Structures are given as structure tokens and as C-alpha cells.
Amino acid sequence: MKTTLVLFFIFHLSIAEEGAIQEFTNANNQFTSAVYKELSKTENGNFMVSPFSAETVLAFAQSGCKGDSAEELRNSLHLPNDRTKVESALKSLLPKIKGNDLYTLHTANKMYVKKDFAIKEEFKRAASQVYYADSESIDFTKNVEAANVMNSWVEKHTKSKIKNLIDSNDLDKFTRAVLINALYFKANWSLPFQLSLTSKRKFYKTASDSIEVDMMQHFDEHFNYYESPDLKAQFLELPFKGGEASMVFVLPNEKDGLARLETQLESVFVPQHQLKSTFLNVVLPKFRIESEIDFKSVLMKLGVAKVFDEEQADLSGIAGEKGDLVIDKIAQKTFIDVSEEGVEAAAATYVLIAVPASAILHQQQPKNFIADHPFIFYIKVKDLVIFAGRVTIPSQ
């Protein structure tokens, strides 16, 4: 497995910092539920989202927002309405989730700014000291060239899993800045699935309609497991090597139970303290998902309006005065590949800022976790949800 080591560091977290990180983690998990809920209304099939990538780059943007614009954005992200508190959490958290020698987790932020456009010093400081973001001057009017430069950066930081994030047609003489977060994750299961046990089995798209897909299998093994009577679902947690990251599968008891489960998401994307080591047979489909998400429309449904409106947007913490800048576009691409060896996943989110166009119990018999119908999944690192999605039809 490839691992990229960014830096070594020694640090001591104060109680205040730990509290800020926990507050951000809780906010991110609530944001996951809210975003997933909106996506499930419009996405018919498989999808995956990285709430953490979006939350990070939007927190970056809110560092340049003021007044009602900042408050509205923080509310939608479930963050405390205090910029310094948000920045303290991110400054402590980002170096903390860099993966280790057994799994790769790489997150990077970047700010591209129009040539000769004056960014305020306070925002520059936040970019470099809080979000660890490099800044680069670029000519957005050369839109194809600018898009290629930015897309190359994204490809580099996602091991070429995310391509063509930025559409050159979105860049023009009004574009002033583009903020990007790239996230890459690769890990092997602590206990890999045996290739020889993978076989074709039925996967039920609905209660009566099935297809044959490749199913991975474990027999007579111990994994963290929980049966929720309230959600009418089973939770399975499969750990990755390194011990800090894991993937959770949430399987409705009924073959057509996903829609009901998706009405109770606030209880899905939270730490499941009832999980305990259980003797299990596990059957999971191999799957691969690529998604493209219009985050601007998601945020608008979550109550964000002011940062998109030239009459109300106040991004004067970045540059200029109130009304001089608006957030024009927020987009995300994600990728995940789940196989016998482990998981590879990536995401990249960007915020385009423009001027307004107008200006352990061993049991006798193992329990069964057989994911032969639609389910929810998420990947977490130290209780922080970094990817979440659903599988309705496994595709490879």
C-alpha cells in the first residue's frame, strides 16, 4: 500500500482545542445527515458524498464572510457562530487526520486568485495558517489554461482519481478566486476478504427484482456489529489496518427498507456505541461509485441564500466591500472502489468566488450480515465521517 508522509510533528492539545475538534466532528456528522437527506431526494441510484471535504472548503470560505452571510453559512454547516472557534478546530484537526504508515489519508487546500486582485491580509493568514492552503495567482480569462492548471493540482492530490473538477466554461472575467479541497483515502481491511470466496450472488434492487453481482464473503469472524430495533437495521463496522479508520455498513432488515431508513438519518451518522464484537458471517458486494454533486443547490435547500445574492453577500473578509463578491458555484466530485483488499476513495470540492454579473461475545452460531439489497455506508476516521453514500445497484 502506498503512503505519502507529509510531515512529522509533536503537539499537545489543550482542553479547549479538544473541545473545538469534538464540536467540529459533531457538526460534520450533522452536516452529513442533512446533505445525504437532500441528495437522497434527487439521486435515484448509487451516490457518494464527502461531507468533510465540503465542510472544510466551506469553512475556508466562511473565514472571508462577515455578518449575516457568515452566520447563515455556519448555521448550514452546523458550526458554532464564532469564526475563531471554527478556525481553531480546523487548525488543530487538519494535521491530526493525516493517516499513518498503514493507511493513507491526504487532505489539501488551495486558493487560486485572479492576477493583481488584492486579497486581504487577514484572509491570506487564515488560508496559510488555519487551512494550510497555498495561494497561487492565475489568469481566469485564459479559462482553458486556468482550468487545466487547477485540474492538474486536483489530480495530483487525489492520485488521479478525480479528473476535470473545474469546467473552463465556469471561468471568466468576473471570476476572482477559486477555493479547492482535495481528499484522498486508501486503506486495506484489517482482515482482507479471500479472493477465492468471492462469487456471484443475487442482489435485490427491489423486493422482487434481482441481479447477479460479485459478492465478497467472510465466514466465522468477529466484527463490531449491532442490530437496531428502532431503525430496523443492522450495523456492521469493518476496520482498516492502522486502527483509526473504519467503514460502517447500515443494512435495512427489509429488502425495500432503504427509503424508511433514510427518514432517520440523524440516528445513522452518529457514533454507534452499541457496536460490539460479534461472531459473524458477512456477505458484501464489490462496488465502485463516481458522483458529481452540485453543492450550491444542496446548500440553498439547507437555507443558504445570502452568499449567492449580490444584494446580500458579504465576502468583504476576502476582498473589497459588501456586495463586491458572491459565491458563484460549489461543486464536488467523488470516487470510491470497494474490493477484497480494501477501499480507495477520493473527493474534491471547489468554491468559485466571482463578482456579481451586474458588477466480544463468542456465540455458537454466527449471525449473518448479508448485504444483498440497498444499503447506506460511511467511512470514518476517529468518529469523523469523511465519506458517506448508498448502494442501490452494485457497479464495478
End-to-end CA distance of the chain: 21
- Helices 15-42 and 51-62 sit at what angle, rounded to 10 degrees? 120
Q: DSSP characters for 137-203?
A: EE-TTSHHHHHHHHHHHHHHHTTT-S---S-GGG-STTEEEEEEEEEEEEEEBSSPPPGGG-EEEEE
CA-closest candidate to residue 33, choices 252, 233, 265: 265
Residue 340 and residue 283 in contact, taking contact as beta carbons nearer than 8 Å: no
Q: CA angle 47-50-52, nearest 5°?
A: 160
Q: What is the pLDDT of residues 107-158, one digit of tens each?
A: 999 998 888 888 899 999 999 999 999 889 999 999 999 999 999 999 999 9
Cell of 166: 473545474
Phi, psi of 177 (to 5 degrees): -155, 150
Phi, psi of 354 (to 5 degrees): -135, 165
Query: Residue 286 to residues 28, 87, 120, 343, 396: CA-CA distances in angstroms?
Result: 27, 38, 48, 10, 7
Residue 119 and residue 151 in contact, taking contact as beta carbons nearer than 8 Å: no
Tell me the pairing of strands 245-252 and 233-239. antiparallel
Domains 17-187+289-336 and 189-288+354-391 share a fold: no
For residue 125, give every residue at least 6 positions away whose Cβ sits within 8 Å of its Cβ, in sequence order, or none: none
Phi, psi of 51 (to 5 degrees): -60, -30
What CATH code is assigned to 189-288+354-391?
2.30.39.10
Where are the domains positioned within the chain?
A: 17-187+289-336, 189-288+354-391
Residue 216 and residue 343 in contact, taking contact as beta carbons nearer than 8 Å: no
Q: DSSP characters for 257-285?
A: -HHHHTT-GGGTSS--TT-EEEEEEEEEE
Q: In whole angstroms, give the CA distance from residue 263 to residue 137.
A: 45
Residue 262 and residue 252 in contact, taking contact as beta carbons nearer than 8 Å: no
Share of the chain above pLDDT 90, in %: 60
For residue 99, give every residue at least 6 positions away whose Cβ sits within 8 Å of its Cβ, in sequence order, or none: 3, 105, 106, 185, 242
What CATH code is assigned to 17-187+289-336?
3.30.497.10
Cell of 195: 479472493
Residue 213 and residue 372 in contact, taking contact as beta carbons nearer than 8 Å: no
pTM of the model: 0.89
Residue 279 and residue 391 in contact, taking contact as beta carbons nearer than 8 Å: no
Per-residue tens of pLDDT for the chain, all 396 residues: 232 333 333 333 345 567 778 888 899 999 999 999 999 999 889 999 998 999 999 999 999 999 999 999 999 999 988 888 889 888 888 888 887 888 888 899 999 888 888 889 999 999 999 999 988 999 999 999 999 999 999 999 999 999 999 999 999 988 888 999 999 999 999 999 999 999 999 999 998 899 999 999 999 899 999 999 999 999 999 999 988 899 999 999 999 999 999 999 999 998 888 899 999 999 999 999 999 998 999 999 999 999 988 889 899 999 888 888 888 888 899 999 999 899 988 888 888 878 776 664 444 588 999 999 999 999 999 889 999 999 999 975
